[in-house]
Structure 1
Amino acid sequence: MIVTDLDIYFILKTIVIAIVEGITEFLPISSTGHMIIIGRFIEFEGSFEKLFEIFIQAGAITAIVVLFRKKIFASFKTLHPGGDGFKLWTNIFVALIPTGIVGLLLHEKVTHHLMQPLPVAFALLVGGLWMLFGEKKYRHDSKRLHIDEVSYKKAFIIGSFQIMAILWPGFSRSASTIIGGWIVGLTAITGAEFAFFLAIPTIYSASIYYLLTHIFTLTTIEIIALALGFFISFMVAMVVVEQFINYIKHQSLKGFAYYRICIGALMILLTLFNII
C-alpha cells in the first residue's frame, strides 16, 4: 500500500477526533457536540467520518469495562432473580426503554437537522445552565445510594432524562444521567457510575451496527484509522475516567457547566458571523 500525504493528513485528523472522544465521552460536556464542532474546524465530515465518530466510542466504553471489570464480573455471577447483578442489568434495560423508543423514532430527523455546529452550540449553552440549576437545587439533597440500590422507577426516570441528549446533540448523556440521578435522590458518583453502565450496551450496539453496515466499503487506510482511533480513545478515556471519578467525589460540577456555557456562546458567535 502506497501512503500519500493526503493519507497522512487524514490519519492526523482521525487522531485528533479520537483524542477529543477519549477526553469528552464521559465528562458532562458532550463528546458528540465536541466532535461535530472540531470536525467542522478540521474539515472532518462525511459518511466515513460519521462511522468513525460512532465506532471509536466503543474504544472509550472499553475503558469503562476495564476500569469496572471487577464490578461487572461480580454482577454476572449474580445474574439471577434476586441477585445484585440481575437488579443492576434489569435497571439498565429499564433505563434504555425511553431512549431506545425515542432514538428509533427520531434518530434520522435529529441526525439530519441537529448534527450541526449551531444547534450543538445552543445545546452546550442550555445544558450548562441546566447543570448549574441542577447542582444548586438537587445535588445536596441527594441520598448516598449505592448503584445496586437504584429502583426500577428511578432507573426509568434517569433513562427518560437521557432523551434530551438523544433529541439534542450536544446536551450530553453523562450530564443528563447525573442530573436525573440527583433529582431521584442519587449522588453524583452513583449517577456517573449508572451513566457508565448505561453506555455499555448503547455504545457497543451502535458501534457494531454502524461497522457492519459499512465494513465492505472500507479502504485499507480507513480500517487503519478505525483501529488507531479505537486504541487512542480507549487509552485517553482510561486516564480521564479515573480522574473524573476522583474529582466528582469531592468537587462541584460547576466548572464543567461554566465551560459549556463559554464554549457554547463562543460557537454561536462564530457561527452567526460565518467564521465556521
Structure 2
Amino acid sequence: MKQMLGGILHASGVEAPAGNRFCAQWRTKCISGCIPPRRSWASSLAFRQPQADYWIHWLTPILNAALGDEMQLPARQPADLEEVLQACPELQFILDGTERPIQRPKDSQRRKDYYSGRKKQYTAKNVVITHKPSGRILGLSRTYPGRRHDKAVADEESFFFPPGSHLWEDTGFEGYAPEGVMVHCPKKKPRKSELSPEEKAQNRAIAQERIGVEHSIGKVKIFRIVRETYRNHRSEFEDLVMETACGLCNLLLACRPAKVAQIVTA
C-alpha cells in the first residue's frame, strides 16, 4: 500500500519539492486515516490554504485511479455490480444507507432537498453494499440529497443480487425485496402497540448479523472528509471523495489478511 501511494506523485510526473513534501504527508495521513483540517495541514507544510486545496483537488482523482487499478474501488454501475456480486463465494450481503453532513445550502430548494429529518441537519446520502463474511465494500450508490429515503435510492439504483443471496437490511429498506433473494429485515414497532418477545428476539438476531456493515462504514469514516461537515463546492467532488474513501477502506482490509481471516471465522 505504501509503495502504491508513494508512486502516485512520481507517476504523475510532478517533481516540485513542495509537491513531494505534500504528497509524502498526504500519503501518510491517508494510510492512518487521520487527515487534519486543511488550514493546519497547509500551515505545517508552509503552504497557503488555497495551495493545499489545489493539491487535494489535483491528487484525489489520481489516488482514485490508482485504487481502481488495484481493483479496490466499489462497483458503481449495475452491470459491474452484478459481476462483482456473482463472483463472491458466499452470497451474503448487507445493505445500508450512510449520510454525511454538508454546509447549509444557500438555495431554498436545495435546503429542502438536502435536509435530513433523521439527522436533523443537511446531509448527502449514499447506499452501501457490503460483503457480510469479509466486510469488503462491494457496491456504492450515487450521492443523493439527504432527504431521499433509503429504499427510494435502492429502487432507483436498480441493484441486482444473484438468485439465492441472503440480504440483511435495516428498517429504512422495509419493502425492498429483490426477486430470488432471501431478505432479513427487522420489524418495526406498530403504532400504539408493542412487538412480541419473539419479534424482539428476531430483531436482535438481525442486528447482530448487520453489525458488520456498521463496522465497515465506521472504517470509511476514519477519513474526516467523509465524517465532518463537507465544505467543498466543486461539482461531483463529494461523490469522488466517498468512492475514494471506500476504496482506501478496502485496501486497508486487503493489507490485513489476518484480520480478514478473523472476520470470516467469527
State TM-score, norm by structure 2.
0.34
State TM-score, norm by structure 1.
0.33
User: Which is richer in helix?
Assistant: 1
Structure whose alpha-carbon radius of gyration is higher: 2
